[in-house]
Structure 1
Amino acid sequence: MSTNTDVSLSSYDEDQGSKLIRRAKESPFVPIGMAGFASIVAYGPYKLKSRGNMKMSLHFVHMRMAAQGFVVGAMTLGMGYSMYLEFWAKPKP
């Protein structure tokens, strides 16, 4: 069993803020998905008081599905964007 001794320790020295900023630059749709998820979760309690005669559990299921749909959509757009950059936008040698 071989071990890799050339492990870079620079990633271990990063704090959470700089790691999030670095990863946001690498894949910009992740923070968009996180922000959309957080905004839908924050919108849920606001919409809760005006739900009418809808059951509370059904309201929570709708909010959960909306948040998950936003995150999956952001992930799909991010994958499409990275595929575009890798296969079509890359200059041919």
Structure 2
Amino acid sequence: MSTNSDVSLTSYTEDQGSKRIQKAKEAPFVPIGMAGFAAIVAYGLYKSKSRGNTKMSVHLIHVCVAALGFVVGAMTLGIGYSMYQEFWAKPKP
């Protein structure tokens, strides 16, 4: 039995950066949702110093709801975008 040891394994040894870029091209709303979540949480923590008379727990709940709402919105847009590509944008045979 002959084995071909000259086979290049470059397709199997992709680095993590190229895998993430490929996944981001396949589903562009995932990194948008992650970035929006991080931005809203960072902004909420920044504004926690000047929250006024609002209790800290109420402020954190509002930040959490806003961040999760952004993620759910990004997921909904992503699902709608993939459905559009799959069913409507595909040329009919």
TM class, shorter-length: 0.7 to 0.9
Corresponding residue of 2:48? 48
Corresponding residue of 1:28? 28
In structure 1, give the amino acid aligned to 2:45. Answer: P
Distance apart, 1:28 and its partner CA: 0.5
> What do you get for the CA RMSD once the two structures are aligned?
1.7
Structure exhibiting the larger radius of gyration computed from Cα positions:
2
Give 5+ residue unaligned stretches, structure 1: 1-8
Give 5+ residue unaligned stretches, structure 2: 1-8
Distance apart, 1:15 and its partner CA: 2.7
Tell me the number of residue pairs that the alignment of Structure 1 and Structure 2 aligns. Answer: 85
Corresponding residue of 2:72? 72
**TM-score, normalised with respect to structure 1:** 0.83
Q: 1:70 to 1:19 in 2, by over 3 A?
A: same
Q: 2:50 is paired with a residue of what secondary structure?
A: coil
